[in-house]
Structure 1
Amino acid sequence: MVRRELATRLQSAQAALPSGIHLLVVEGYRPAHRQQAIIERYSAEIRAARPGIGEPELHVLTSRFVAPLAVAPHVAGAAVDVTLVDDRGRELDLGTAIDATPEESGGRCYFAANEISREARANRDLLARVLCREGLVNYPTEWWHYSYGDRYWALATGAEAALYGPVSR
């Protein structure tokens, strides 16, 4: 589930892809309790790797990869984790699995990572080209994360404000 405007833009991006290549949306809207669980899990990984880390530094390190609940774009239904697949549904090479952390991927999860194959770079660039033409923005620490209308989108595009806040049911 995503905002209607985002869904429309994703459909247009799909239409712009070469024949045989498709968008695969892995995740869109994420309830607040799931976002909090992801924050806690990643914080625990950092704590395990860095015993004795203080809370302020833990918050900073966690926030560079997992958005705090107050600003999380998935909670607004304004973000997607997306990749490319072929006609058989096989994921194309984009350098890492979706949700690979900076630690486990050696930084290859960053959109601009240099340590990926030419094929992965070409696929990332194709994904970015079709989505950015539709007004989406990429969160640069996650090659797979794109949004439209959330707070990060507003910051990246210079919009006066986000179009969407958290989904309230």
Structure 2
Amino acid sequence: MIKQFYETPIEFVYKTPSQEDINWLKANAKPMPIDQNFRIKSLHSYKELKLKGVLNKMYTRSALVLKLNQILECLPHNFSFIIFDAFRTIETQFDLFRYIYEQQKDLHPALSHEEIFVRTKEFVVHPDETSRYKIPPHNSGGAVDLTLAVDGKALNMGTDFDCVSDYSHTNWFEQNFSEGSGYTKEEWSDIRKNRRLLFNAMKHVGFVNYTAEWWHFTLGDCSWAITHDLDWYYPSLESELL
């Protein structure tokens, strides 16, 4: 199975969930803390950044944890997941937008407020913009940011988590190697292989990827529902936790 994941190019084409699949997601919708174990490590990145509204524990829905464990059963025992972020409060979503906006403002001082705002929205949902998502993906409990590790060391995915760059687009390294990119040909090949492994393993159990972020996957949220042209999706998880 792992060889197939490595060798299959990244394609954003997904199998439509059956009613049985949807019923399973509904039946496994309870909030669940992401506990540390030897194959799942929670970094709780936004708690480290001291963003507003971050809970002491990282939560998601039980369906996502069950699916992650299903993936791990397909991979060698020295593989594990590193979770950067999962459920977010609306307060955290606002503060993260502010954080990324200020980051982009510093990186691109010549851009106008409107240009920076649009660029920021490419990488983080603004909670007030309900035309895109009725429920921000992370607030639903149906989104998770993560990577794979081998023997506890994160695989090289080409960029850091939350890096606002074209290189963060999931299929960027499916292109032919580019001289002057800042990567060696060997690194480019390794990154392509690693991203394929993560993407195809997640896709195999029903997750959908946000194409601008190699680390962001959803299951049962608004983004997932839009991809599959479905009218069912998880509501906000916030009322169940707070």
TM-score by length of 1: 0.86
1:112-123 equivalences under 5 Å are: 112-114=171-173, 117-123=188-194
From 134, 137, 143, the counterpart of 1:79: 143
Percent sequence identity over matched residues? 28
Aligned-partner Cα distance in 1 for 2:188–2:99 = 30
| Contact 2:141–2:234 under 8 Å retained in 1 | no
Once the 2 structures are TM-superposed, how far is the Cα of residue 166 of structure 1 from its aligned partner?
4.6
- Larger CA deviation: 109-118 vs 60-69: 109-118
| Contact 1:78–1:164 under 8 Å retained in 2 | no
**Runs of 4+ off more than 3 Å:** none
From 3, 23, 27, the counterpart of 2:81: 23
Once the 2 structures are TM-superposed, how far is the Cα of residue 52 of structure 1 from its aligned partner?
6.1
Task: Say if 2:155 is the partner of 1:92.
Answer: yes
| Contact 2:71–2:201 under 8 Å retained in 1 | yes
Q: Unaligned regions of 5+ residues in structure 1, if any?
A: none
Corresponding residue SS for 2:203? helix
| Contact 2:140–2:234 under 8 Å retained in 1 | no
Aligned residues: 163
Aligned-partner Cα distance in 2 for 1:146–1:84 = 13
RMSD (CA atoms) = 1.9
Corresponding residue SS for 1:146? strand
Q: Unaligned regions of 5+ residues in structure 2, if any?
A: 1-58, 179-186
Give the letter aligned to residue 95 of structure 1: G
Task: Say if 2:116 is the partner of 1:53.
Answer: no
- In structure 2, the partner of 1:35 is 93
Corresponding residue SS for 1:2? strand
Aligned-partner Cα distance in 2 for 1:52–1:129 = 36
Once the 2 structures are TM-superposed, how far is the Cα of residue 51 of structure 1 from its aligned partner?
4.4
Aligned-partner Cα distance in 2 for 1:147–1:7 = 12
- In structure 2, the partner of 1:132 is 203
Distance 1:164 1:136, change over 3 A: farther
Corresponding residue SS for 2:146? strand
Aligned-partner Cα distance in 1 for 2:98–2:169 = 21
Aligned-partner Cα distance in 2 for 1:54–1:20 = 46
Which of the two has higher C-alpha Rg? 2
